[in-house]
Amino acid sequence: MRIVVDRDKCTGLGMCEAEAPDLFEVQDDGTLKVLNDCPGSADREAAESAVMACPTEALSLVED
């Protein structure tokens, strides 16, 4: 599983960080840093919550 960020859609609202602080962190300039873009199965639920919570639908999960 890999996390993909659509940088054109992301505006750094931070809901992903709220849902999954181990995976995402918004930076001072508002850009999103993915802390771990290939999370293990333990983080799957948090990653899915982050995708669902994003107000701009900028996140997706890709199965490799």
Partner 1 sequence: MSERFVVVGASLAGLRAVQAARKAGFSGPLTLVGGEEHLPYDRPPLSKEYLRAGEEGAADPTFRTEQELRGELDVDLRMGTWATALDPAAQVIGLSDGGELDYSAVVIATGARARTLPGTEELAGVHTLRNLDDAIAIRAALDAGARTVVVGAGFIGSEVASSARKRGLPVTVLEALPVPLVRSVGEQMGRACAALHLAHGTDLRCGVKVTGLTARDGRVTGVSLDDGSTVPADLVVVGTGVLPNTEWLAGSGIQLHERDRGILSDATLCTGPPGVYAAGDVTHFPNPLFDGLLMRLEHWTNAAEQGALAARNALNPAEAKPAAAVPYFWSDWYDSRIQFVGIPQAEEIRVVSEELGEEKFLALYRRGERLTGCISIDRPAQIMKYRRMIMQRKSWAEALEFTGL
Could you say which of 36, 38, 44, 55 contacts partner 1 (CB under 8 A)? 55
Minimal distance, residue 8 CB to partner 1, in Å: 11
Minimal distance, residue 30 CB to partner 1, in Å: 4
Token pair recorded at residue 36: 């771990």
Residue 39 and residue 55: Cα distance in Å, rounded?
22
64 part of the interface to partner 1, by CB under 8 A: no
Residues forming contacts to partner 1 in the complex (CB under 8 A) are: 11-15, 17-18, 21, 25-30, 52-53, 55
